[in-house]
Amino acid sequence: MIKREQPKEQSRWWRLAPLLLFGLALAPRLFRLTSQSLWLDEGGTWETITTHSWGSLLADLWSARAGYPLYHLLMKGWVLLSGDDVWALRLPSALAGALVVPLTYALGRRLGGGWVGLIAAVLLLVHPFALWISQDAKAYSLLMALVVWSLIALVDLLQAAEIRLRTWLGWLALLAALLMLHRLALLLVIGQVALVGWYGPLRGRLRRIAQLAPLALLLGLALGLTFGLRQDSNAPPVGTAINPATALWELLGFFTLDRTPAALRWLGGLALVIAAGGGVKLYQRRRHGAALAGRLLLTCGVLPLGLYLAALALGAPLFEPRYISFLLPLWALALAFGVAAPTEIGLAQRRRWLLGAGLAALLVGLQLAALLSKPYGLWSGAVVKEDYRGAVSELARRVTPGDVVIVHPAYIGALYRYYARRVTPDPLPSAQAFGRAGAVGYDQKEFDNDYSALLAGKRRGWLLLAPLNAQTIDPPNPQYPQDDMGRVGINFLTADLNEKWRCLDEPYRVFNGLRLLCQSFPAPLQPNSLEMHGAWPIPASATATFGDGLDLLGYEFAPWRADGTAQPGGTLPIRLSWRTRAPLPADYRMFVHLVPALGARVAAQLDTAPLSGGLPTSRWPLDRPLHDEVAVPLPVDMAAGRYLVVLGWYDPAVAGVDAQRLPVSAHSGPAEGTIIELGTIEVTQ
């Protein structure tokens, strides 16, 4: 094919286009890079690269069960240089995602000319699905870049005037890297090898080998699906089993605007019409150099997708849109050919280009709208990914050293560990779990035994629950349609119905994709039993009475540090023991202040209902000791020094601060009017 020479200025512009496109693509991928919390899969990346040795990661390169071994190996080296903060974990994906755009431009220019390449690149600039992947600490962004690079190498190989060993070795090296980066890249490798076998420059025996190679690769795919998907109950699920037709419809939604098809309505159909227009254009231009483009889209786009759908049809639990996201640049190319199709119809040149530009602008405008729309838009300001940062931050403000923190399912513990040392300077309790939940034969009796082992002798238990993930090992009870939390979640949810107390003012706190629950034990839970009996020890301290019969029986500070000091940005935990000798007429609230001296400005404070609202004072049992654990948040900029801790109660239904507060009617320690002095605490940096 004879290529038309472009004017010097135009040629120079085309040469600058990749650099310009990379810069334009990088900006939105860096925008709000750290605004979303790390989510489950990113937590898996962090745990793998920080807990596995170099030798283990190298061995994973040859393991059929390792999903992204090369990515983990590269990331382990990267975090040694950059650290493991959120920006550092996501930056490689952002860079790779930005690189996909100029690479797609280069591929499109080879297949259909500069305008096709430019349109495809523009469609990927702010594509919501591409941006999600580019801000995700997973292998998919790098995989997409390597896929397009390998396709460029394939096109260069097929269009070369002569066979060059260097070109072939480079292409084969890229295929090997793809397989080590993600095992499902084998689908694309099969397509590329098939294209070379049937349309490549090989002759004789080499050609026959290349034609048979896809069959061998298909056998490898079958073996990988057979042996590589076996998992234990404590690992995140690989994917879901789904009907191929449903999967195809779902993929259309994600490839169009990163939405479910139900949310797209007619937009998915519009995308299909444009892509079909691209197919018509390729068919019409097959005698003018477009035959390679059509063949490549068929063998490297349609064929891998067909193999993926066939695996789903055979029952493989592989459906996850990101697994097949490496086809997104090819989808953009199909749309680009469709957008460029109006330039082939019988209209005036200006109208043809205006129609094509209008289609491209419409698609990009819809992409921007999807990014900005709530509640799912990545730029909407809403929390879109699982909010582990928010959940662990809330937990850090409330938990005390004697509490138990349970994560469910167990594998979300990686995110708890990641954020526990970032949201607070305090050493939060280690995460516990129902380790055998989901195992064959795990029944109510074994759950009860695990529950007792985890919580016996503990005053409070916290549950960080990921309901959708937990359902894979702890399915909801089908007899209760409203149950979406399974055995573990329901146990915590119904604490106040099972002689325990809730220690939140609502059944659970909701964070995107997560729930935080708490239960408090009125009496010690006995080992190897679900019975509670006995009494919690009352700290030896000063006592006081507030109002008409609200007695403080004892208290003690329970700082996180062994030296008894507290830290700015952390909390001051306090254990309190109460009793009421008469029914309390209102739901009182308690305040704890840290002040340099009486009358001085408050440096830190807590305002809360008892048990964080889980047991209002109007419902307190008479003459029965009641324990409460509180944590006073200390500001990050709190000055070092010794602070006086004072406590009081007030009735929020009464107007006026002085009238609200309950008087201290009796006390054995320092008190003044409506407050009692609990003692002093040292705050150190």
Q: Which of 370, 421, 383, 415 is nearest to 36 (CA)?
A: 383
Q: Which two tokens stand for residue 78?
A: 């990267």
CA dihedral 328, 333, 335, 337 (to 10 degrees): -170
pLDDT at residue 9, rounded to an integer: 42
Instruction: Name residue 257's beta-bridge partners.
Output: none
CA distances from 12 to 15, 17, 99, 379 (A): 5, 9, 20, 35
Q: pLDDT below 70 — which residues of the chain? A: 1-14, 202-239, 261-290, 341-353
pLDDT at residue 197, rounded to an integer: 80
Q: Which of 271, 278, 320, 274 is nearest to 296 (CA)?
A: 278
pLDDT at residue 351, rounded to an integer: 62
| Pairs from 150-155 (Cβ < 8 Å, separation ≥ 24) | 150/174, 150/175, 150/178, 150/188, 150/192, 151/107, 151/192, 151/296, 151/300, 151/330, 152/103, 152/106, 152/107, 152/110, 154/192, 154/195, 154/196, 154/296, 154/300, 155/107, 155/110, 155/111, 155/292, 155/296
d(CA 412, CA 408): 7
SS3 432: strand
Instruction: Name residue 405's beta-bridge partners.
Output: 431, 462
CA distances from 516 to 68, 474, 653 (A): 31, 17, 29
Ramachandran class of 410: left when φ > 0, alpha when ψ lies in -120 to 50, beta otherwise: alpha
645, 678 Cβ separation under 8 angstroms: yes
Answer whether 0.85 is exceeded by the pTM.
yes
pLDDT at residue 480, rounded to an integer: 74
pLDDT at residue 273, rounded to an integer: 64
pLDDT at residue 237, rounded to an integer: 62
CA dihedral 366, 371, 372, 375 (to 10 degrees): 120
Amino acid at 231: Q
90, 34 Cβ separation under 8 angstroms: yes
Domain map (residue ranges) of the chain: 8-226+242-372, 388-520, 544-683
Residues in Cβ contact with 669 at an 8 Å cutoff, skipping those fewer than 6 apart:
541, 542, 543, 544, 676, 677
- Mind listing the pLDDT tens digit for each residue in 283-296? 656 554 458 888 89
Phi, psi (rounded to 5 degrees) for 285: -105, 15
- Mind listing the pLDDT tens digit for each residue in 529-560? 888 988 999 988 989 999 988 999 999 999 99
Longest dimension (CA), the chain: 103
Residue 4 has a CB neighbour count (10 Å cut-off) of: 5
Q: What angle do CA 393, 395, 400 make, to 5 degrees?
A: 125
Residues in Cβ contact with 46 at an 8 Å cutoff, skipping those fewer than 6 apart:
38, 84, 89, 137, 414, 418
CA distances from 490 to 467, 480, 498, 512, 569 (A): 11, 11, 11, 19, 33
447 burial level (CB within 10 Å; 0-12, 13-18, 19+): middle
Residue 145 has a CB neighbour count (10 Å cut-off) of: 25
pLDDT at residue 432, rounded to an integer: 96
Helices 86-112 and 328-340, packing angle to 10 deg: 40
Q: Which of 184, 190, 224 is nearest to 210 (CA)?
A: 190
pLDDT at residue 274, rounded to an integer: 67
Q: Which two tokens stand for residue 622?
A: 């008479």
Helix (H) or strand (E) holding 679: strand 675-683
Only one residue has tokens 């007792």, namely 452
d(CA 248, CA 520): 48
Fold of 544-683: Immunoglobulin-like (2.60.40)
